[in-house]
Amino acid sequence: MESEIRLIKYRKALCVVTWLSPVIIMLIGSLDHFMYELSGENVFVGMWAPVSESIWEHLKIAFYPTLFVWTVAYFVFRGILKERVASWFAGAACAAVTSAFGVVLTQYFAVEVFGLPNEIYVHIPDFFIALCISQAIGAHIAFMSEEKKSAAILSVLAAAVTVICVIFSVLAVAA
C-alpha cells in the first residue's frame, strides 16, 4: 500500500513537471537568448547562453533551461523521489536532449516544409510545441525506466551532451 502511495505521488510530481516546465523553460530560454549580449559578452555566460544566431547556439536555449528546471524540481520533490533518483534524471536527460533538437526540428519544419515566415511570431509557438512534447517524453522515460539500466545510460548521455555543449560554446565565444 505504501509503495502504491509513493507511486501516485511520483506520478503527481511528473505531472507538475510536464505541465509547468514548458512555460518556465520558455521564459528562461527567451531570457537566455539575449543574456550574452546583456552581460557584455561574458565568456562564462556564453557557456549556457547563445552567443550567435547559429543552430548550435539555439540548442542551448532549450537544453540548459530544461536541465535546470528538472534539477530544481528534483529538490522540490526529493522526498518523493528518493527511490527513483536515477529514473528522474534519466527523464531529465531525455527531456533536455529532445527539447534542444525538437526546437530546431519544429522551426525547420515550420519554415522550410510548411513555408511559414522565418519570424519570431512563428518561432515562439514552435518553441512551446517542442517543449511540451519533450517534457512529456521526459516524464514518460522517468516513469517507465528501470532504475538501474536505462537510467544510467540516459544519465551518461546527458553528461556527454553537456560536455559537448560546453566545449562548442567555449569555441564559439573564443572565435
Q: What is the DSSP string of 107-125?
A: HHIIIIIS---SSHHHHHH
SS3 102: helix
Q: What total of structural domains would you count in the chain?
A: 1
pLDDT in tens, the chain (175 residues): 667 777 788 888 888 888 899 999 999 988 888 888 888 888 888 877 887 777 777 788 888 899 999 999 999 988 888 778 888 888 888 899 898 888 888 888 888 888 888 887 888 888 899 999 999 999 988 888 776 666 676 777 777 777 777 776 666 666 6
Q: Which domain holds residue 41?
A: 2-174
Contacts of 68 by beta carbon, 8 Å cutoff, 6+ apart: 28
Measured between alpha carbons, how far is residue 128 from residues 56, 95, 134 in Å?
Answer: 18, 13, 10
